[in-house]
Amino acid sequence: MKNIQTITDQFFNRYDSFKEKSIIHRRFKHSDMLKVFEKIKSCEKFNFEFVGTSVLGRELNLISIGKGKTKIFLWSQMHGNESTATMALFDIFNFFSDTSSLKEIKETILNNLTLYFLPMVNPDGAELFQRENIFNLDINRDALALQTPEGRILMESFKKIEPVFSFNLHDQGVLYSAGDTGNPATLSFLAPAFNKEKSINTKRENSMRVIGALYKVLSKYIPGCIARYSDEFEPRAYGDIFQSMGSSTILIESGGSKNDTEKQFIRKLNFTAILSSFYMIAYKKYEKIDLSLYEEIPYNEEKLFNTVLRNLTFKENGGNFTADIGITTEEINSTGGAGFFQKSEIGGVGDLSTFYGYEEYRSEERRVGKGCRSGWSP
């Protein structure tokens, strides 16, 4: 594990050298991605294969690099408003395009692995920054019916590649906590189940070993902010289906981090996690990882509000009562999904002592007028 940590530190510390500077916010469009592709195409290491179009005719490309026997497949943004990992993939393309640093690691990865990327599976949804495709269908519930062209392209690509490992890249809500704590689940992982019994075979074990190692090394940067996603079997979801089809599948969910609205720090964590995974798989380091590390990861829990106001005193009907207020903030799309405004509402009132907030304020003892005490202290 010490060796893995050393390599992970190199990826993390050198990230700024590889960050795709043209993309600095989450709401980029398919046309922005194509501009990045034009730059990457100048590197002869990469192969671009047109694999189909979305409902509205936006092209999907399968990008590959490497010549190793072990095939790895990564796809992102099947939900159009979950773009963090797509940004990280741009950075990873820059990493492999670079010829000046970490040469030995890159050569070993590309000699032992062949990497396949399908970025932005749902470009029509990305255009509107919405979860579903243009038919308002959730592509990640289409693995059985295969009604969406985007879902069919994903399935066809998987069958063609026959990957040993698969990476299912998503974003989750920012109000999930890492277990019963006040810490946001900045990253959540899962080795998805392949049946209702949640059985464990060698393929799923391999997913768990890689995730266990990632939990250990990434905790250096986000201690207490890594969680485990629910492993209820969902036969309509691609990650679960691909696990059942024999590919060791790893789900990465990008959650929340304080003062990181555009998820640029979480983007860096994705970059670090994915490259560290490549390193572990290329060098077969994951085979020695104890499964107990995976079991140590706390589950996601919904324990967070954006803001909690504590110890408020209310005067109603001649009596007083004390309560906390939890406030949630939702992003509402504007200008066709290119921008947003925030809508806040009360999500909980009462004893919120078992909940936490990204921001918390406690009232002082003095009270002014009817309603709540005034004066706040963090």
222-266 per-position pLDDT tens digit: 999 999 999 999 999 999 999 999 999 999 999 999 999 999 999
Say what the pLDDT of residue 367 is.
38
Say what the pLDDT of residue 301 is.
97
- Residue 17, SS3? helix
Q: Which amino acid is at 41?
A: K
Say what the pLDDT of residue 317 is.
82
Report the 10 Å Cβ neighbour count for 50: 9
Say what the pLDDT of residue 133 is.
98
Grouped pLDDT means (10 residues each) for the chain, 378 residues: 92 98 97 97 95 98 98 98 98 96 95 98 98 98 98 98 98 97 96 98 98 98 97 97 98 97 98 98 96 98 97 87 95 92 96 96 56 38
Q: Render pLDDT for 171-219 as a digit per residue (tens, 0 to 9).
A: 999 999 999 999 999 999 999 999 999 999 999 999 999 999 999 999 9
Q: HEC states along 275-330?
A: HHHHHHHHCCHHHHCCCHHHHHCCEEECCEEEEEEEEEEEEECCEEEEEEEEEEEE
Beta pairing, strands 356-363 & 376-377: antiparallel
Say what the pLDDT of residue 234 is.
97
Do residues 219 and 226 lie in contact, with contact meaning Cβ atoms separated by under 8 Å?
yes
Question: Residue 108, exposed/middle/buried by CB under 10 A (0-12, 13-18, 19+)?
Answer: middle
